[in-house]
Amino acid sequence: MTSEGKVRLDKWLWAARFYKTRSLSSEEIDKGRVRVNGAPAKPARELRPGDVLELRIGHETRTVTVRGLSGVRGPAPVAALLYEETAESQRLRREAAELRRVAPEPALSQPMGRPTKRDRRQIEHLRGGGDWNERWSASIDPRD
């Protein structure tokens, strides 16, 4: 941890291991997914101990309080000392994880996208569709 009073936001997020690269943390800040003390921030914003960050990472939202400053990425146990997640944030993340576990997103249960031609033929066959020629209205059939 540094003894200096300020560190850039993008550098701190990288050092605290919220993002893998500093450029990725900068992109997320530019997209508006990081707020400092309730206000939108820029990557060059200087942090101070006590600042409250709201981070949206994937489908999770975290609220953390800055406890220490560092511009150097170190091991995960050291990075965890740089911040403290609020109890409310931890509770909300646990509830959201439980909700995703109990009721997963329906679209995620689909193994692939559109059915192939072969899949469509099998579906048609299972629905009771018979021979391909039976679907034509202008077929020549002596029964007509």
Distance CA 48, CA 25 (A): 18
User: Residue 33 — φ and ψ, nearest 5°?
Assistant: -90, 0
Q: Which pair of structure tokens corresponds to residue 34?
A: 């990081």
Predicted local distance difference test score (pLDDT) of residue 1: 56
Domains in the chain with CATH codes: 7-107 (3.10.290.10)
pTM of the shown model: 0.69
Taking CA atoms, 124 is separated from 6, 115, 138, 139, in Å, by 66, 12, 20, 19
Q: What averages of pLDDT result for each successive group of 10 residues across the chain (144 residues)?
A: 74 95 94 94 94 91 94 93 95 90 75 83 80 59 59
